[in-house]
Amino acid sequence: MRKLILAIALCVYTLPVYADRLKDLASFAGVRNNQLVGYGLVVGLDGSGDQTTQTPFTVQSVVNMLTNMGVQVPTGGNLQLKNVAAVTVTATLPPFARPGQPLDIVVSSIGNAKSLRGGTLLMAPLKGADGQIYAMAQGNLVVAGAGASAGGSSTQINQLATGRIPAGATVERAVPTLLGNGEFVQLELLKTDFSTASRVVNAINSQIGPVAAALDGRVIQVRAPLDPNQRVAFLAKLEGVNVTPGETSPKVIINARTGSVVMNQAVTIDPCAIAHGNLTVTILADNKVEQPKPLANGQTAKVQNADIDIEVGKGPVVRLPKAATLNQVVRALNAVGATPQDLLAILQAMKIAGALNAELEVI
């Protein structure tokens, strides 16, 4: 007998009520990370590499590599490369990175290799979105996993097809980063909010001087010194300005796959009444074997029967009082006794009825 059981999970997230540093609310225009990606080969695997019959690109890559090294591979040869795996290499190029600076990289199998544990990444160029090479990667992989198999049985902990190489890449090309345009620098809020933008301008002008002006709900223009050394010191001081952000909009986020529900402290509900009943599905398997009658020349046959029962619980009408704080909202929703999957439908109905002030988002 199997029962469809719905798990209940309610996660609560509260927002800070104290002033934040400006560096936690905004970033400087042009100061950003850049993503790098490359293709390479991991060698030295203990028989856990790609099955070359199913991943011909691995064989092609090895042949090209050997050819570039002056090794001629006979045409038509059947290479059995159980110790080699084709991988993608990814890294993040931070702002102001200079040639020679090390980068951490992540190496992931793109074939059918069983494990990259103990492998060595051969020199692989890392390119940016413009197709230019910005770093070169090579080194021994660190795989945060373990696995074992014997006699057809196997066990595994964590992922074996992905590994990291700390400081495994070296920057070869710098990305020009300009701190502002002329005498101005621009601050970009992480989230568009006119109230926060106005408070940022007021905080900067009151703590540093009349140097800031809001261009819109996201960008604040600040007059900064022209001398590079003075500008860096000015921006460091600017990052430490304390700002009280504007009140966040009420929002409820529901993960439809896991049933997780997250809401912020601005969510409130008005008095309403809710009737909710649980649904239980019971499946009872009754498998039998039917024997033929004597002298009937029949065959034994298996018969699979299933008894399915659906039980609908009659939930009482629950009256929810007005809830103005997050704790009150949580207690009110728990009183309904609904699962997170059912909670989505309840919150949608409350939103339509005007009893919920929050925006619903399903991910």
DSSP 102-159: EEEEEEEE-S--S--TT-EEEEEEEE-TTS-EEEEEEEE-B---EEEEETTEEEEES-
Mean pLDDT of the chain: 81
Which of the given ranges, 23-27, 120-124, 331-335, has the highest pLDDT on average? 120-124
Query: Residue 8: its pLDDT value, please?
Result: 31
Min mean pLDDT across 5-14, 154-163, 323-332 is at 5-14
Q: Which residue has better confidence, 193 or 326? A: 193
> pLDDT (tens digit, 9 = 90+) per residue, 146-157?
665 555 556 666
- The answer on 283 and 354 residing in a single domain is yes
Give CA–CA dist 103/35, Å, rounded. 12
- The answer on 322 and 308 residing in a single domain is yes
Q: Closest Cα to residue 38, out of 132, 160, 118?
A: 132
- The answer on 89 and 204 residing in a single domain is no
Query: Residue 126: its pLDDT value, please?
Result: 97
Query: Residue 281: its pLDDT value, please?
Result: 55
**What's the mean pLDDT in 121-139?**
95
User: Of 218, 243, 268, which one is at a domain's C-terminal end?
Assistant: 243
Min mean pLDDT across 96-105, 181-190, 217-226, 308-317 is at 308-317
pLDDT exceeds cutoff 70 at 238: yes
34 pLDDT band, cuts 50/70/90, is: very high
Q: Are 243 and 20 a contacting pair, CB within 8 Å?
A: yes
Pairing of strands 261-263, 251-254: antiparallel
Residues 6+ positions from 128 with CB-CB distance below 8 Å: 34, 35, 36, 93, 134, 175
Q: Where are the alpha helices (DSSP H) in 31-130?
A: 56-68
> pLDDT (tens digit, 9 = 90+) per residue, 241-264?
999 888 777 888 877 666 677 887
- The answer on 137 and 68 residing in a single domain is yes
Q: Are 166 and 137 a contacting pair, CB within 8 Å?
A: no
Model-level pTM? 0.67
Percent of the chain at pLDDT above 90? 35
Q: How many angstroms separate the Cα of 161 from the Cα of each of 82, 121, 145, 147?
A: 15, 13, 9, 11
Query: Residue 13: its pLDDT value, please?
Result: 40
**What's the mean pLDDT in 155-161?**
73
**What's the mean pLDDT in 2-12?**
34
What string of DSSP letters covers 145-212? Answer: -EEEEETTEEEEES-SSEEEEEEEEEE-SPPP--SSBTTEEEEEESS--HHHHHHHHHHHHHHT-S-E
pLDDT exceeds cutoff 60 at 356: yes
What is the C-alpha radius of gyration for the chain, rounded to an integer number of angstroms? Answer: 31
- The answer on 136 and 206 residing in a single domain is no
- The answer on 197 and 182 residing in a single domain is yes
User: Of 222, 243, 264, which one is at a domain's C-terminal end?
Assistant: 243
- The answer on 260 and 218 residing in a single domain is no
Structural domain that includes position 198? 20-30+177-243
Query: Residue 219: its pLDDT value, please?
Result: 94
Q: Closest Cα to residue 207, out of 27, 19, 30, 28?
A: 19
Q: State how many domains the chain has.
A: 3
- The answer on 206 and 106 residing in a single domain is no
Angle at 226 between CA 225 and CA 228, to 5 degrees: 95
User: Of 188, 217, 243, which one is at a domain's C-terminal end?
Assistant: 243
Which domain CATH number covers 185? 3.90.1070
- The answer on 84 and 152 residing in a single domain is yes
Q: Which residue has better confidence, 24 or 318? A: 24
172 pLDDT band, cuts 50/70/90, is: very high
Query: Residue 268: its pLDDT value, please?
Result: 81
φ/ψ region of 209 (left if φ > 0, alpha if ψ in -120 to 50, else beta) reads left
- The answer on 284 and 165 residing in a single domain is no
Q: How many angstroms separate the Cα of 286 from the Cα of each of 4, 280, 299, 304?
A: 18, 19, 20, 6
Min mean pLDDT across 22-36, 136-150, 309-323 is at 309-323
Query: Residue 251: its pLDDT value, please?
Result: 81
- The answer on 166 and 38 residing in a single domain is yes
- The answer on 158 and 41 residing in a single domain is yes
Pairing of strands 261-263, 11-12: parallel
